[in-house]
Chains A and B, each alone.
Chain A
Amino acid sequence: MSKIGVAGIWAALAFVMTTVWAGGGEPTIKIGVIAELTGDIPAVGASCKNAALQAVEEINAAGGVDVGGTKYKIDLKIEDNGSKADQAALCAQKLIAQERVLAIIGPNASLGAVPASSIAESTKTVLITPWSTNPKTTLDARSNKPKKYVFRACYTDPFEGRVLARFVRDTLKLDKVAVLYDVASEAPKSQAELFRQIFNATGGSTVAFETYTTGDRDFSAQLTKIRETNPQLIFLPAYYNDVPLVVQQAKRLGITAPFLGSDAWSSPDLIKLSQGAVEGYHFANHYAADAATPEAQKFIQAYQTKYGKTPDDVAALTYDAFGLLVEALKSAGKVDRKALRDALAKVPSFDGVTGHMKFVEGSGDPIKSAVILQIKDGKFVWVCNAAP
């Protein structure tokens, strides 16, 4: 009995030791990642995971992060939220309470990022979402004030709606557009509404404003309705898996107006799934792989050698989220959630793969620019930048 008891104590001690000093005596910092590895948008989760692994590999290969004179290696804990809101919340709870991570990167889709960020905020754990553009992610729903512990590496939906509306009015010079969006999905909904608001305010007219629900495959009723209004362009803020179906059905109905997309179009899977049907269309994005700075080129090349494909915006933003995290850790001086949060809020400015960014005073939203891309010969080609 006593032998078992002693063994138990040793086992418990060993467990405690490994959680504090994982990796054979080297000090480590645990960072959680929540990604959409399964569910509706697995390509998003895969990019996030790939970029996270690459970022951590680079950090650890360089000896780790210097926090207050000690070099810490990063220990990554990756969780799959299945593109579901409840599962994202569960992942956040598990990482914070059970794994006791210092900070969380992700989730990417706003659907999961909004609930996960509320949990991070209430447990005072830093969360940086790479790709969630919804204002609610960094805003407290009750007080309508910015959350203190939640940051993002991307721009927000209102900004994207404005950029796209301006692009259609000023660059394409069109004045009659239709909108089709997923009413059950957070980001497309707010992008569609803001696009219409700004487009109409600048003298254009939105002739059709149609919706569908996540999981729909048949858009023929909505597209037939849109066809009646004869728009010059159709704005389709939809995830990459819906886009090919909509575009193809529109063509079969004889619609010739081009489509315009949001950042949710940016996965290379869009090209694979639509087989040329999206050729020539424009969309807004966080970065352009073909117009990158030398610093960004280094990341793109390393990613290409490692995974055999060009990183999409999710990968680039995840990498930047890690960049921001390391920057903040260095200046935090100690491994502590509160110290990390304060240091992150004070990062003066950061030059990442997706460009220059700086957090708005007292908020987790960065000021940064967007890019407009065009699909040409099955590739995303940079068209112009849109300054904040």
Chain B
Amino acid sequence: MIYFLQQTLNALQLGSIYALIALGYTMVYGILLMINFAHGDLFMVGAFLAFALATFLGWSFVPTLLAAMIALAVLGVVIERLAYKPLRHAPKMSAVITALGVGIFLEHLMLAFNPYPRHMPELMPVHIWTFGQFSISSLQVLIIGLSVSLMVVLDWVVMKTKLGLAMRAISWNIKIVPLMGVPVNRVISATFAMGAALGAAAGTLYSMAYPVIDPYMGVMVGWKAFIAAVIGGIGNIRGAVLGGFILAGVEIGVAAVLPTTFRDFISFGLLLILLVVRPHGLLGKPRVEKI
């Protein structure tokens, strides 16, 4: 029982981070029908920014997190303006390839500065509470709590505000909505900014939980989060959150019961089966004409 609880907690921690990154993929896809493959690397840049602020300026958790989120929001918008906007009317494939290129560019930019893995300093003291065999750290509480709050805020923005309404409208039809006076470019920028800021939050929290960072750290995590977004139904915000927790649950669950070698094989196998049964993901709506 305690073993089960402990593994559930492990899955919740990992799932929160997958979900935060998956949101970035799903938001951009929702509005532009484009898979922003650079998102995993934005997450990495966020972690490095947090590292730099904490190490060289000695900032504590809250300012580090906020500054990293704001800086990445700006970077997200800049990337959208320079790399994706000129291709908005080009075939979707061009934008996806550009996104891959932006991701590799970011990796090698970091690599050029610093090829070495770095140690993330502790942004706040970590307490560990133990109840018999069960142990929980203040960091886990923070990661799960903060991620869930950010997701709730995002859901509120998308569902209840005017900006959210505009986003959903553009996602419904990008050609007609501008005719109604919706500033498409500004809404798209806001979407990229929010996605990148969530990526920075994920990067900061992730590097606190797993305090060795390197320029390739975003690749695998980015793929996993992308898969989480697909499981949940890419384009659907609640789906991305659900997908993140499901993927982490399956990964930890498989590793907990079977030899760990089976982990990725089984979790990706489940994904394939799911996609055969529900090609548009758990909460996604079937969309026939585009891609």
Contact = CB atoms under 8 A, between A and B. Distances in A.
Interface string B244-281: 00000001100110011101100000000000000000
B116 A220 contact: no
Given A42-B115, A211-B261, A218-B14, A253 B212 contact: no
A217 B13 contact: no
Contacts of B3: 224, 228
B88 interface: no
15 contacts: A38-B111, A38-B115, A40-B216, A43-B116, A212-B260, A215-B220, A217-B210, A217-B217, A221-B260, A222-B260, A224-B7, A224-B10, A227-B133, A254-B130, A273-B117
Nearest to A254: B135
Interface string A201-214: 00000000011110
A64 interface: no
A213 B263 CA distance: 10
B137 interface: yes
A181 to B, nearest CB: 10
Interface in A135-194: 183
B279 to A, nearest CB: 28
B255 A241 contact: no
Contacts of A241: 117, 212, 214
Given A42-B115, A211-B261, A221 B7 contact: yes
Interface in A329-371: none
Contacts of B115: 37-38, 42
Interface of B: 3, 6-7, 10, 13-14, 111, 115-119, 126, 128, 130, 133, 135, 137, 139, 206, 210-212, 214, 216-217, 219-221, 251-252, 255-256, 259-261, 263-264
Nearest to B140: A252
Chain A interface size range? 35 or more
A273 B212 contact: yes
Contacts of A266: none
Contacts of A254: 128, 130, 133, 135
A245 B118 CA distance: 12
A213 B135 contact: no
B252 A220 contact: yes
B216 A215 contact: yes
A244 B135 contact: no
A211 to B, nearest CB: 5
A86 interface: no
Of B115, B139, B214, B219, chain A has the most CB atoms within 10 Å of the CB of B115
A38 B212 CA distance: 16
Contacts of B219: 215
Contacts of A37: 115
A37 B111 CA distance: 11
Contacts of B211: 244-245, 248
A224 B6 contact: yes
A222 to B, nearest CB: 6
A37 B216 CA distance: 14
A211 B135 contact: no
A213 B128 CA distance: 27
Contact of A252 (B128, B212, B220, B259): B128
A272 B116 CA distance: 11
A220 B128 contact: no
Interface in A243-278: 244-245, 248-249, 252-254, 269, 272-275
Contacts of A212: 260
Nearest to B130: A254
Interface of A: 37-40, 42-43, 183, 210-213, 215-218, 220-222, 224-225, 227-228, 241-242, 244-245, 248-249, 252-254, 269, 272-275
A252 B261 contact: no
A217 B251 CA distance: 13
B256 A225 contact: yes
A281 B126 CA distance: 23
Given A210-B260, A245-B210, A221 B10 contact: yes
A221 B252 contact: yes
Contacts of B6: 224, 227, 253
B135 A252 contact: yes
B118 to A, nearest CB: 8
A177 to B, nearest CB: 17
Contact of A244 (B212, B216, B261): B212
Of A212, A218, A222, A272, chain B has the most CB atoms within 10 Å of the CB of A218
A213 B251 contact: no
Contacts of B263: 213, 221
B135 A221 contact: no
Nearest to B128: A252
A248 B207 CA distance: 13
Contact of B255 (A42, A222, A227): A222
Contacts of B206: 217
Nearest to A184: B261
Nearest to A224: B6
A269 B214 CA distance: 13
B109 to A, nearest CB: 13
A216 B259 CA distance: 15
Contacts of A210: 259-260
Contacts of B216: 39-40, 215
Nearest to B139: A252
Contacts of A39: 216
A241 B217 CA distance: 12
Of B14, B133, B206, B211, chain A has the most CB atoms within 10 Å of the CB of B211
Nearest to A41: B117
